[in-house]
Amino acid sequence: MKKNFLRIISIVLCFALVMGSSVFASADGENASRPDNSPFRISAVFNGDSATQRGITWYTKANTKSVVELVDEQGAPVNAQITYEDVFEWEGNYVHKALVSGLEAGKTYYYDVGDETVRSAAGTFTTDDKDDKVDFITFADVQAGNQENFNRGARVVEQALKMMPTAEFMANLGDFTDDSTNEEWDYYDNAFGAINMSTTLAPIAGNHDGLGVENWFNNMFNLDTSESVQTKDGVNYSFDYGNIHFAVLNTNDILAISIPQLEWLENDMKSTDKDWKIVLMHKSPYSLGKDAKWPDALYLQKSLTRIVDECNVDLVLSGHDHQYLRTKPLTGNKVDKDGAIYILSGTAGAKRYEIRTFLANHFLDTDFIDALTIQRSGGNYWDGEDWDQQNPDYEGGIFSTFSVSGGTLTVNSYVVSDYTTDEEGNIINVNEEPKVTLHDTFTLTKETGKNEITYTGDNTTSELEYTLKIVPSFLGLATYAIVEWLPKFLIMVPALLESVIVYDVF
Ligand SMILES: [Fe+2]
């Protein structure tokens, strides 16, 4: 009884944290005073069947035992199977991973982690009830390097959870941190810890999430890596939720995407008959941001979109370029009412990119644009003709909500206003309620029950197979860069130079 009471208290505290206290998080507070066996960086992510399984990860300073406790909504212990990986040392901490399986579909669970002596606060997630109604949230590119900017990002996601309390999970489309140092992941944990423990997370590897240190991303989350073509700089995986199939890509894989990962995506998308097919990834094929001028973006336009078209993918959600851009439906790089829609998700963080006008009609046909919001001062947006329209409410961090009901999918995307600051940029009132403004909304409809499974084979890639395909992957990308990207880039140079000289925008 006493144990249940404590659980309820910790659950209430957990939600209180989610709903407003991250602005008070400070790096030197929690981490410095934490006992060595106290769990941190706790998350529950998709790992296998979303109706019955979750992958849980946490860290400790000391090498302690791994114990996950699970209760149902009444606080009664749950008879689930929990499989622990061996605890291992990683960058000065110890990593604990547990796979919880045998859960019931459509049920809410509460969990805590730790050893026999120190337990975490309670986290919660709800398993997929497998019906055809699904609500979820996406955001991208918090990419912060200090506590304040992580707190600003968390403030945006807190507004997302308030806007869509029915959200069954959230997807972080990558660039969790800026330099992926221990210090930054601790800032991240201070700001996002309670948010992560309030639902299931679908993490997507960004290029800032551990480049140069192998396995950072894979060691942060307990994902199903059985089909990942490699795990050194990210993880590709897939999961079903309701009537949606999600494929998560790792766009750090050989500059953007390797041949084995493209083959994996094709087989994966042919292995499902779910009504909706959605790709989640970090780098964007279609963008007017800083990074769209490099070969990897253009390569994605060619290599990825062929599979998207062939496999009847409905939506491709990405990040990386810190502005919001939604395309019209596209097939074969042409507007086509039956094609896929690509959404560059905007940033939930404080770093936001200008439009690179020199890219227009060189690397991105402006006819493709259905919505474009630049989150910088002035809040430029696309009105169907040009991007000089301005709405000051569009300056802020962005999140999006997705709601599927049978054959209808509705997307709403919002801007969360920044804090009011003084001339030095200091926040005037940390309790300031943000203004939340809808800047893009659209609905897709489709006839359900039409997708068929056309691939039933194995979809794993052996280390040898991956290694053997590295060379053709590099050669393919290099050839593409020289033959297709470079001539386009050279034609664009006069417009690029004008942008640099006149507007100081590269
Ligand atoms: Fe990025």
355 within 8 A of 369, measured Cβ to Cβ: no
Gap from CA of 3 to ligand 1 centroid (Å): 44
Q: Note the pTM of the prediction, 2 decimals.
A: 0.94
Spatial CB neighbours of 467, under 8 Å, sequence gap ≥ 6: none
Q: Name the CATH architecture for the domain at 133-445.
A: 4-Layer Sandwich (3.60)
How high is the pLDDT of residue 30?
52
Q: What is the DSSP string of 459-497?
A: ----HHHHHHHHHHHHHHHHHHIIIIIHHHHHHHHHHHH
Gap from CA of 282 to ligand 1 centroid (Å): 7
From CA 303, how far away is CA 317, in angstroms rounded?
16
From CA 44, how far away is CA 111, in angstroms rounded?
10
Strand partners, 276: 244
**In b/e form, how buried is each residue of 257-290, taking b as 16+ CB within 10 angstroms?**
bbbbbbbbbbbbbbbbebbbbbbbbbbbbbbbbb
Q: Which residues surround ligand 1, an ion (CB under 5 A)?
A: 175, 206-207, 320
Gap from CA of 284 to ligand 1 centroid (Å): 9
Gap from CA of 130 to ligand 1 centroid (Å): 33
**Which tens digits make up the pLDDT trace of 229-279?**
999 999 999 999 999 999 999 999 987 999 999 999 999 999 999 999 999
**Which tens digits make up the pLDDT trace of 6-44?**
344 444 444 444 444 333 344 444 555 677 899 999 999
Gap from CA of 175 to ligand 1 centroid (Å): 5
Gap from CA of 445 to ligand 1 centroid (Å): 31
From CA 298, how far away is CA 289, in angstroms rounded?
13
What token pair was written down for 323? 């502005």
Q: Annotate 368-411 with three-state secondary structure.
A: HEEEEECCCCCCEECCCCCCCEECHHHCEEEEEEEEEECCEEEE
Q: HSE on the CB side for 438, CA within 13 Å?
A: 7
Gap from CA of 62 to ligand 1 centroid (Å): 32
CA 374 distance to own-chain centroid: 20
Gap from CA of 190 to ligand 1 centroid (Å): 22
Gap from CA of 323 to ligand 1 centroid (Å): 12
Gap from CA of 352 to ligand 1 centroid (Å): 12
What token pair was written down for 442? 């659209």
Gap from CA of 436 to ligand 1 centroid (Å): 25
The CATH code of the domain at 2-126 is 2.60.40.380
Gap from CA of 205 to ligand 1 centroid (Å): 9
Gap from CA of 217 to ligand 1 centroid (Å): 14
Gap from CA of 178 to ligand 1 centroid (Å): 9
Gap from CA of 455 to ligand 1 centroid (Å): 32
**Which tens digits make up the pLDDT trace of 68-100?**
999 999 999 998 999 999 999 999 999 999 999
Q: Is the pLDDT of residue 377 over 90?
A: no
Helix axis angle, 259-270 to 295-310, nearest 10°: 30
36 within 8 A of 79, measured Cβ to Cβ: no
Using 50, 70 and 90 to split pLDDT, how confident is the model at 3? very low
How high is the pLDDT of residue 34?
73
Q: Is the pLDDT of residue 421 over 50?
A: yes
What residue ranges do the domains of the chain occupy? 2-126, 133-445
Q: HSE on the CB side for 395, CA within 13 Å?
A: 13
396 within 8 A of 376, measured Cβ to Cβ: no
Gap from CA of 472 to ligand 1 centroid (Å): 25
